[in-house]
Amino acid sequence: MDRMLLQLNNVSVVYSDVIQVLKGVSLSVENNRIVSLLGSNGAGKTTTLKAVSGLLKPENGKVTDGTILYRGKEIQNQSPETITRHGIIQVLEGRQPFKYLTIEENLRVGTATRWGKPYRQDLEKVYHYFPALWERRRGLAGYCSGGELQMLVMGRALMAHPELLLLDEPSLGLAPLVVKEIFRIIRQINEEEGTTIVLVEQNARMALQIAHYGYVMENGKIVMEGLAGDLCANPDIREFYLGLSAAGNVKSYTEVKSYRRRKRWL
């Protein structure tokens, strides 16, 4: 049994034939793990996920170099229809519900990879993880709160029986308590379903609490990687991504900036 589920080797991505965004990204994801991909805005995290899920194509993006292996087979530049049927599902940044469909209809769209059938049991499973959705199942998704929507889009992805779930900034714009709940459920899904998860986050503190392994991206490159615990303890990460000084105080942005300057000479 191959423990490696997903492998990116030196992947470059170019948008519109001219804008190079990923510059040789390599990372690997083991079976049944949560791997976190951290980095600030514009680092290329979303682009990395889209390269895996095939959603670059509709945006005129392309993997121009390197390989993406899923279970040892090359999948770069395949269509999203094909890739979703391998069991890779991406949950998009910014939640993206079907606003004019009810919660339950939204969930049913998650069955597209297997022609809609059967789905009753899967609905039950989703309502088990997200009881809040059960209460609103006949309501239109367009009227849900941000937290409910995040649950909805994750539940919708679960309906597809994913082996590999790509989550793009699930905590974005949510209240701290809701974020905590969402992250608890992500962990629970990973443990109970055995789903492998790539978790893209700017909220490094929360992400590293549930992840096993982490990568840090900057300017389209991986600049650091390690076990989640090690990353948490790394002084640079603590200072820049967790906003903590060695003494454990929350630092202001201006102080953190010194890291930026130092980093340039590394």
Binding site for Mg ion (CB under 5 A): 46, 93
At 249, give phi and psi (nearest 5°).
Answer: -85, 155
Applying CB under 6 A, does 19 fall inside the site for ligand ADP? yes
Residue 53 site contact among ligand ADP, Mg ion, other proteins, none (CB < 5 to 8 Å, cut-off depends on kind): other proteins
Q: Which of 16, 72, 117, 250 binds other proteins (CB under 8 A)?
A: 117
CB of 118 to other proteins, least distance (A): 11
Q: Which of 44, 87, 162, 170 binds ligand ADP (CB under 6 A)?
A: 44
Q: Within 10 Å of residue 62's Cβ, how many Cβ atoms?
A: 17
CB of 44 to ligand ADP, least distance (A): 4
Determine contact, residues 226/214, Cβ cutoff 8 Å: yes
How far is Cα 150 from Cα 203, in angstroms, rounded to an integer?
15
**Residue 94 vs 146, nearer CB to ligand ADP:** 94
Residue among 57, 168, 148 at smallest CA distance from 107: 148
Applying CB under 6 A, does 171 fall inside the site for ligand ADP? no
Applying CB under 8 A, does 58 fall inside the site for other proteins? yes
How far is Cα 164 from Cα 4, in angstroms, rounded to an integer?
12
Determine contact, residues 70/51, Cβ cutoff 8 Å: no
Applying CB under 8 A, does 140 fall inside the site for other proteins? yes
How far is Cα 99 from Cα 111, in angstroms, rounded to an integer?
18
How far is Cα 218 from Cα 109, in angstroms, rounded to an integer?
35
Applying CB under 6 A, does 47 fall inside the site for ligand ADP? yes
Compute the radius of gyration of the chain from its Cα atoms: 19
**Residue 42 vs 131, nearer CB to ligand ADP:** 42
* CB within 8 Å of 173: residues ≥ 6 apart: 146
CB of 94 to other proteins, least distance (A): 9
Applying CB under 8 A, which residues contact other proteins?
53, 55, 58, 80-81, 84-85, 89-92, 95-101, 105-106, 108-113, 115-117, 119, 140-144, 146, 149, 153, 156-157, 160
